[in-house]
Amino acid sequence: MAVWARVDSWTLAVSVSRVFLFATFMTIAAVIPELQREWGLSATAAGSIVTGFTITYAISLFGFAWAADHLGAKRTVAASAIASGITSALFGLFAQDYLSALVLYSLVGLAQGGIYTPLIMLFAERTEQKRRGAAMGWLIASTSIGYAASLALCGLGLYFGGWKTAFLITGLAPLIGMALLLACLKNTENRIHDRGLETGLFDQMIRNRNARLLTAGYTAHTWELLGMWAWMPAFLAASFALGGWSAAATETSALASALMHLIGASAAFSMGRLSDRLGRKRVLFGTAALAAILSFSIGWMIMLPAVLLVAIGILYGFATIGDSPVLTTALTEVVEPGYLGAVLAVRSVLGFGAGAVAPLIVGGIIDLLTEAGAGPATVWGVAFGVLGIGGALAAAMAARLRGLNGSRALRRP
């Protein structure tokens, strides 16, 4: 209850707006089995739609974060909110086949970067360091709740009208988030920080050891996280179908995945605040190590009873998202404010570039092993195991961090 009690109205309203704005984020992942049947897509082709979105999202994160250093975070957040509302509506209304979905969904990704990285900067500006982990927890948790809402809305859309209804519902919801976020920003100050002459981006990214390790850890973390998010609904649908739930496997898996994201939101709240007390390094290592273990093992469990597999999946979702607010909070504490946007920009390209490739690689592995006649456990065990490499690398980067064990991070190389 303490986490909820301390939140201010601005943080709460911004968080609610992001839930609506991210309503399209998981749309394709939720309906992959349906699109494969309706559009005759291979797993690789279906994964490429997610990859297209993630590539443009990475570009968007870079562009909006870089612009925030020069134009101010508030302005870039507002521009992104407007673009997100418009492009999401276009996707919901006009995506009708593989090509149109690929193009329009990629445009959605291109618009959304400013409602993440520049908002990190606004949260850092508004929050004192000793409570910043908890504040970032709200930011990341609203993302997870938005993904859960996206999956839940898709599940309802599939049930009542199929993939077209799912596209329409999730495509129009961001218009509500756009209006709410613009209202929140009305009285928010737009700051442009002095960059100074004594340091540069090279110093912040290369000579700053902690910034370098946190960026590498984030890249590995995003590979695992986005690959898992893209394919977990399909994995659960395959498991449900094997267990005799074929008639409603896709809808049920979407709702189960939504539950995982809601639990993931609690991970963002709790791990962000826990890192305020125990230190960033300890929490980063623990969550990354647990995520890696589950990535290497969950695919082999596809034949488990549905209730047990969903429970393990919830723990998996908790672990993979748990280090997100901590990675972000720590970076704001070791990088000079005038260069935070630029560093976040570089981090976004590396992280979401890796995350964009992950769904495609997993889809390719699934196709290859399926064509080779491998059993479901082997197919999914190997596919998720590839994602586990990212979790293992993230844990290794966390173990090498210096000066992040106390309640305050060190702002030095």
For residue 306 the two structure tokens come to 């549905």
pLDDT of 234 reads 83
Cα-Cα-Cα-Cα torsion 254, 255, 260, 263, nearest 10 degrees, comes to: 150
CA distances from 394 to 215, 217, 229, 306, 402 (A): 10, 4, 17, 29, 15
**Thinking of the domain 2-190+199-399, which architecture would CATH place it in?**
Up-down Bundle (1.20)
For residue 71 the two structure tokens come to 């134009």
Q: Following CA atoms 288, 294, 296, 301 in sequence, which dihedral angle do they give, to the nearest 10 degrees?
A: -170
Residue 138: partners with Cβ closer than 8 Å, 6 or more residues away: 7, 11, 12, 15, 268, 269, 272
Tell me how crowded residue 376 is: count the other CB atoms within 10 A of its CB.
18
Contact 121, 190 (CB under 8 A): no
pLDDT value, residue 299: 94
pLDDT digit string, tens, across residues 254-296: 677 677 767 777 777 788 778 888 888 999 999 999 999 999 9
Alpha helices in 279-339, H assignment, sequence order: 280-298, 306-322, 324-334
Alpha carbon 144 to chain centroid distance? 7
CB 90 within 8 A of CB 107: yes
The pLDDT value recorded for residue 11 is: 84
Q: Nearest Cα to 10, choosing from 180, 190, 133, 134?
A: 180
Which pLDDT belongs to residue 6? Answer: 58
Among all chains, which residue has been given the structure tokens 């897509």? 41
User: What is the per-residue pLDDT for 260?
Assistant: 74
Residues 188 and 289: their CA atoms lie apart, in Å, by 39
- Taking the complete model, does pTM exceed 0.85, yes or no? no
Please spell the DSSP secondary structure of 33-76, one letter per residue.
Answer: HHHHHHH---HHHHHHHHHHHHHHHHHHHHHHHHHHHHH-HHHH
Q: What is the pLDDT of residue 92?
A: 96
CA distances to 27, 150, 250 from 105, in Å: 9, 14, 20
Tell me what pLDDT residue 292 has. Answer: 97
In this structure, are residues 83 and 125 in contact, taking their beta carbons and an 8 Å threshold? Answer: no
> What is the per-residue pLDDT for 319?
92
Q: Is 133 exposed, middle or buried (0-12, 13-18, 19+ CB in 10 A)?
A: buried
Separation between Cα atoms, residue 386 and residue 19, nearest integer Å: 30
Tell me the C-alpha distance between 23 and 117, whole Å.
18
Q: What is the DSSP letter of 302?
A: T
> Which of helix, strand or coil describes residue 381?
helix
Q: Measured between alpha carbons, how far is 267 from 59 in angstroms, rounded to an integer? A: 27
pLDDT at res. 195? 58
Residue 329 is predicted with a pLDDT of 85
For residue 116, report the phi and psi dihedrals to the nearest 5 degrees.
-125, -75
Identify the pLDDT of residue 203: 67
Among 277, 374, 270, 386, which Cα is nearest to 322's?
Answer: 270
Question: If we measure between CA atoms, which residue out of 308, 302, 288 comes closest to residue 381?
Answer: 302
Q: With contact defined as beta carbons under 8 Å apart, do 383 and 299 qualify? A: yes
How many CA atoms lie less than 13 Å away from 216 in the CB half-sphere?
18
pLDDT at 105: 97
Q: What is the pLDDT of residue 61?
A: 84
Q: Reduced to 3 DSSP states, what percent helix, strand and coil does the chain have, rounded to the nearest 5?
A: 85, 0, 15
Instruction: Extract the residue ranges of the chain whose pLDDT is less than 50.
Output: 1-5, 406-413
The per-residue pLDDT for 251 is 64
Cα(166)–Cα(159) distance, integer angstroms: 9
pLDDT at 4: 41
